[in-house]
Amino acid sequence: MIVVMSRNATKEEINNVEKKLSELGFSTHPIYGEVKTVIGAIGDKRYLNTHEITSMPGVECLVPIMKPYKLASRELQQNNTIIDVGGVKIGGSNIVVMAGPCAIESADTFLETAVKVKEAGARILRGGAFKPRTSPYSFQGLEEDGLKILAEAREVTGLKIVTEVVDTRDVELVNSYADILQIGARNMQNFRLLREAGMTTKPVLLKRGLSATIEEWLMAAEYILAAGNPNVILCERGIRTYETATRNTIDMSAIPVIKELSHLPIVVDPSHATGMWKYVGALAKGAVATGADGLIIEVHSNPASALSDGPQSLRPEKFAQLMKELQAVAAAVGRNI
């Protein structure tokens, strides 16, 4: 439920309400708006005597949150969440582009690509050190050596880094290197992993599960938020449908639907959505036009030799060209890139 405080409620009154709610077993999430403060109270209301709260000084009213996800819901927070990744803001007027290879393969090739995506205008560098591969015989990633290469690339380029964590046992390690923790599609409902990521202070890029509904995806985000981490970035990366012409089917309607249901930022991954580099540009432009807050795009200096996802990776020159084309689309929807 939402406890709406009156316009002139004092800080002390707000604190007292929070204290009371905690005593009654609720977790509290105050949101300080320009005009009013509201307190999200998450817990079991069955035995709550609502009068105990409504009669407190400074309280205007109680409003139930109807959606099963509470903290992720726009009912609780009307303003968009803007996530600050060391100065790079995701969810505001700028479209943030994250780019880099699917996996970190060697220091030299990774650094070369990192410098090129930076020159083209990417703000965040991607690269997997722990890879969730369909086959156990495929390249599984360089693990901590890969994380060290990522950190070196951050040092050289100044770009922030996003990288996937696939197992609860690695959260601490990945957290010690990454600026954004990525939770992949295959782990969207790994609830222990969501909780662990929720106990860190790093923003989490939560990819939509292979066949997850929007509600299931928001419930996964809720796990991270409920564990105490308010910085969740949703990522639409295509879902499984009957269509086989592309690797997955992008759900473009998820963008406005998420914008209506949630205050969290949403980015789009056109690389995994299509599985083919030649379609990446069209979907990237479509995503920006549809209201996405950012993109995550796979770029590889030599896709033919890539150890994972070569067919969907753009060459750096193609990526640079796409970044130019995206500027016009962003401008048409009143945003910058």
- Under rule CB under 5 A, residue 1 binds Mn ion: no
Instruction: Tell me, residue by residue from 195 to 214, as one string, x for binding to ligand PEP by CB under 6 A and - for no binding.
Output: ------------x-------
Is residue 300 within the footprint of ligand PEP (CB under 6 A)? Answer: no
Q: Choose which of 222, 236, 293, 309 interacts with Mn ion (CB under 5 A).
A: 309
Q: How far apart are the C-alpha atoms of 150 and 164, rounded to whole Å?
A: 12
**Minimum distance from CB of 247 to ligand PEP (Å)?**
9
Residue 154 near which of Mn ion, ligand PEP, none (CB within 5-8 Å, type-dependent): none
Beta-carbon-side half-sphere exposure of residue 164 (alpha carbons within 13 Å) = 27
Does position 3 bind ligand PEP by CB under 6 A?
no
In the complex, least distance from residue 146 CB atom to ligand PEP, rounded to whole angstroms: 12
From the list ligand PEP, Mn ion, none, pick the one residue 198 interacts with, judged by a Cβ distance below 5 to 8 Å according to partner type: none
Q: How far is the CB of 103 from Mn ion (least distance, A)?
A: 7
Output the smallest distance, CB 302 to Mn ion, in A: 16
283 binds ligand PEP (CB under 6 A): no
Q: How far apart are CA 280 and CA 276, in angstroms?
A: 7
State the minimum distance, in angstroms, from the CB of residue 88 to ligand PEP: 18
d(CA 170, CA 175): 8
Cβ atoms of 336 and 93 within 8 Å: the answer is: yes
Q: Which long-range contacts (CB under 8 A, 24 or more apart) does 276-284 make?
A: 276/246, 276/247, 276/311, 276/312, 277/303, 277/311, 277/312, 277/313, 277/314, 277/315, 277/318, 279/246, 280/312, 280/314, 280/322, 281/314, 281/318, 281/322, 281/325, 283/250, 284/322, 284/326
How many Å apart are CA 303 and CA 264, to the nearest integer? 33
Q: DSSP strand E in the chain: where?
A: 2-5, 27-32, 37-42, 59-63, 83-85, 88-90, 96-100, 124-126, 160-164, 180-183, 204-207, 232-236, 266-268, 294-298
Q: Which member of 132, 230, 275, 291 binds ligand PEP (CB under 6 A)?
A: 132
Do residues 157 and 115 make contact, with C-beta atoms less than 8 angstroms apart? Answer: yes
Find the shortest distance in angstroms from Cβ 87 to Mn ion: 26
Task: Find where tokens 């060697």 sit.
Answer: 106
- For tokens 């995503």, the residue is 287
How much helix, strand and coil, in percent to the nearest 5, is found in the chain?
40, 20, 40
Q: How far is the CB of 221 from ligand PEP (least distance, A)?
A: 15
Q: In the set 118, 202, 237, 259, which binds ligand PEP (CB under 6 A)?
A: 237
Q: Is 128 a residue that touches ligand PEP (CB under 6 A)?
A: yes
Residues in the chain: 337
Tokens at residue 82, please?
Answer: 């803007």
Q: In the structure encoding, which two tokens stand for residue 70, read together?
A: 């509470």
Report the site for Mn ion in 92-131 (rule: CB under 5 A).
Answer: 102
CB of 138 to ligand PEP, least distance (A): 11
CB count in 10 Å sphere of residue 20:
17
| Contact map string, positions 239 to 278, toward ligand PEP, x by CB under 6 A | ------------------------------x--x------
- The answer to whether 273 contacts Mn ion (rule: CB under 5 A) is no
Residue number with CB closer to ligand PEP (120 or 307): 307
Q: For the window 54-93, what string marks contact with Mn ion as x by the rule CB under 5 A? A: ----------------------------------------
- Quick one: which segment of 81-89, 171-179, 181-189, 325-333 binds ligand PEP (CB under 6 A)? 181-189
Return residues touching ligand PEP (CB under 6 A): 102, 128, 132, 184-186, 207, 237, 269, 272
